[in-house]
Amino acid sequence: MLRAKAIKFAKGEVGAKEKLLASTDMHGSFAGIPIVVDVVNAINGTKFARQQMDSQLGVHPDAWMPALAPQRFRWGRAMNNTAFVVVNGERTPGKVAIFSTCYVNYNEPGIGADLIKLLDHNEIPYEIVEKEQCCGMPKLELGDLPSVEKAWKANIPVLAKYAKEGWAIVTAVPSCTLMFKQELPLMFPDDADTQAVKDAMFDPFEYLMARHKDGLLKTDFKAALGKVSYHIPCHGRVQNIGKKTEEMFKLIGQTVEVKLNTVERCSGHAGTYGVKTPTHKIAMKIGKTVFKNMARTSLTTSAATARWPATTSSRAWPRRHAGQGAAAPPCRWSVSPTGWPDPQEQ
């Protein structure tokens, strides 16, 4: 499939609209700029703007689009916390390098902030990586291999430095984790730095559950979660690490109340597929079963490790099927003042 996409791209059969839609660093350039970001978000929410996005970018008017953050994740915060002692486990390095990802940096910095709280709570030193750009996954989906290589050349030398120094590298978006764990190592199998980054890369809950197996994770859970629907993202499943977020919910449930409903099926989002005008309605049909299962009646909250598809799901089903059960808003998991986790509704 990738070969076919690459041939199509090389032949010039990928339009400017699709190329622009996959340029995440360009989209995020307005994030964090005072006044400007508010104006952009306000305009993007208007009917006129959505019509223009439809005609000029091929973004369906009904497709959910994330707002730009008033403060980027990589701006205005401490870039590291080395106050804690590094305690390595059998399975886990005792210090974490955070690759923030485009989505967390430009759209939902709170996800990254919550990850930092979890690391602080467990007394794990962290550092936000020195510099980064898009991992290249959106370009890979287009078959734009030259742009993927450009991103690889920018990111791998930085991340390899952390890998060689014994850091665990964590990204909070499954697609980015998959890119560094699988896609780039397959594209550049003979590059030692790429393979070093692959070996050091963790999904957040993969890392936390490994810390638990090492006997180094605090389990002072205090807040009952009640009924939770959790959607397993496709890009999490293909990492072949098991259901680590589900395992965490079950671990929490040993101490406080958790009634877990796990949904393991494609949401139909598939990168930009779910927002494009020609394919949005098809994506909604693909995700219909997920929407129904996530929107079980009387849920306390819903959760997912792939944020954008989950939010699309939670908003789409109630809007299209009023009266048939409404999904609770997706949440982030954070640390409460008396112990973690604390669901942060969005």
Among 211, 230, 247, give the residue marking a domain's end.
211
Does any domain span residue 165? yes
- Looking from the CA of 173 toward its CB, the CA atoms found within 13 Å total 26
Measured at the CA of 257, the angle between CA 254 and CA 259, to 5 degrees, comes to: 100
Which of 216-220, 299-303, 321-325 holds the top average pLDDT?
216-220
Question: What pLDDT is stored for residue 1 in this prediction?
Answer: 82
CA distances from 86 to 112, 123, 157, 171 (A): 21, 9, 23, 20
Task: Based on the fold, state whether residues 117 and 205 are members of the same structural domain.
Answer: yes
Task: Based on the fold, state whether residues 194 and 227 are members of the same structural domain.
Answer: no
CB 302 within 8 A of CB 328: yes
Q: Which residues of 327-341 are buried (b: 16+ CB within 10 A; e: fewer)?
A: bbebbbbbbeeebbb
Q: What is the CATH number of the domain that holds 259?
A: 3.40.50
- How do residues 2-49 score in pLDDT, each as one tens digit? 899 999 999 999 999 999 989 999 989 989 999 999 999 999 999 999
Token code pair at residue 44 = 């993007």
Task: Based on the fold, state whether residues 202 and 250 are members of the same structural domain.
Answer: no
Does any domain span residue 88? yes
- How do residues 242-300 score in pLDDT, each as one tens digit? 999 999 999 999 999 999 999 988 888 888 888 999 999 999 999 998 888 887 655 55
Work out the angle between the directed axes of helices 204-213 and 109-121 (0-180°, nearest 10): 10
Task: Based on the fold, state whether residues 206 and 225 are members of the same structural domain.
Answer: no
Sign of CA dihedral 110, 115, 116, 117: positive
Among 211, 245, 269, give the residue marking a domain's end.
211
Token code pair at residue 163 = 């890998």
Q: Which of these ranges, 171-180, 215-224, 331-340, has the smallest mean pLDDT?
A: 331-340
Token code pair at residue 283 = 């994506």
Range of the domain at 304: 219-345
Token code pair at residue 4 = 């076919």
- How do residues 137-161 score in pLDDT, each as one tens digit? 999 999 999 999 999 999 999 999 9
Furthest-apart CA pair in the chain: how many Å? 58
Does any domain span residue 55? no
Does any domain span residue 6? no
* Residue 125 pLDDT greater than 90, yes or no: yes
Question: What pLDDT is stored for residue 291 in this prediction?
Answer: 87
Average pLDDT, the chain: 87
Task: Based on the fold, state whether residues 271 and 183 are members of the same structural domain.
Answer: no
Among 144, 177, 211, give the residue marking a domain's end.
211
CA distance 298 to 140: 40
Which residue bears the tokens 């307005």? 30
* 0.85 exceeded by pTM: yes
